[in-house]
Amino acid sequence: MQAEAPRPRNVAAAMEPFKNSGELRGRVLSRGKFGVFVALRPPDGPLDGSETVGLLHKKASIPRPESVDQLKLGQELEGVVVRTTPEMTLIDLGFKSRGLLPPAKMMAKSEVHVGDRLQVWVSELRNTSLILASDPKKVLSVKSLGPAASLKDYEINTWYPGVVLRLSPFGAFVAIRSTSGKWAEGLVKTNQIQGNLELGAEFRIRVLDVDLARRRIDLSMRSSESSTISARFATLQKLKNEIFPARVISVEETGAEVELRHPQTSVLGWLSNELQKGSKPLKPGEEIEVLIVDIDMEKYTVSLSETQVPKGIRDQDFASLLADELGEDAIDMLREGDEVQVVANISQRGLDLSLV
């Protein structure tokens, strides 16, 4: 058996300051299947603004592929940055293969450094190389398919060719081709999906609604609405002016798409900017409380209003709260921007973190 190649010196150098570093203060960058990614600066490190990213692992382990042959388009992975240039970033994926992360497939205004732990997605599988994306919205892009279409090119209740761009807990984002051969992106909500979808799958899709003001297209794989959907929304009609917990799914210029957590089911609703009560802009993944304002039984849409969330747990010091009250289960409560107290352990895959 061939011995595993030694880690590049530049990665080892990035890890060196964290040996025996004790407790560190970190900043939550993002969440994923594997856990929570945290940016750290060594206590005695240079004040050059550089940070190294570690991972707070969830309890459940994620099976790791052993070779590129086991990968599929859109698969989520984690890796360590071993080299970075303005043109390309090289990611060690930990299974005797490395992937290339081009700038066009990175999150906007993001910076990476040698030794950083990144969450990535398989964007292209080639014979000689593996192309990755660190922004799930750029694994497949509508821009790569061809010229952009105007939303006025699409007619309601008309079927068009579509390609699955990305999947999410609340539906599938699909590129749809107009009669002129141009492309636009729309959303197929979970209750409008039939069968199992895979990234890159091609099929015909029906336009439910075109909202020019919000610049969005609602899509459906169904030829007609099922009675179960109608019954579910009829039930929600009785819950107008009731307050429910909710999670922000996406934020747009005019408002936010919100997942309302009903005790029996979860539905998506729209929270306009005018009905948001908080002093700060909403962020994807943020937990809020909402009130059902209106339900459109024809389009199956729910309009919401945000309620004032009482001060309490969100205003407390998260580091002390995690350490004193919640333990390891607190990982699921961490949000982007939170500060946490961690201990860093150096492994073959980068920095593995644990809560203090």
Q: Which residue has the tokens 């303005």?
A: 86
pTM given for the model: 0.48
In tens digits, what is the pLDDT along the chain, a chain of 356 residues? 444 444 445 677 777 788 877 788 888 887 766 678 888 887 766 555 578 888 887 754 456 677 777 788 778 888 889 888 888 899 988 777 788 998 888 887 778 888 888 888 888 877 667 889 988 778 887 877 778 899 999 998 899 999 888 887 778 889 999 999 999 999 998 878 887 788 888 888 999 889 888 888 999 888 755 545 555 666 666 677 777 788 888 888 788 888 877 655 567 788 888 888 776 788 888 888 888 888 776 556 777 887 654 434 333 343 444 344 444 455 666 767 777 778 888 876 777 887 76
Domains and CATH numbers, the chain: 9-136 (2.40.50.140), 142-220 (2.40.50.140), 227-306 (2.40.50.140)
Long-range residue pairs from 227-236, CB within 8 A, at least 24 positions apart, any chain: 229/191, 229/300, 230/297, 232/191, 232/265, 232/267, 233/267, 233/295, 233/297, 233/300, 233/302, 234/297, 235/264, 236/262, 236/267, 236/292, 236/295, 236/302
Q: Are 326 and 344 in contact (CB under 8 A)?
A: no
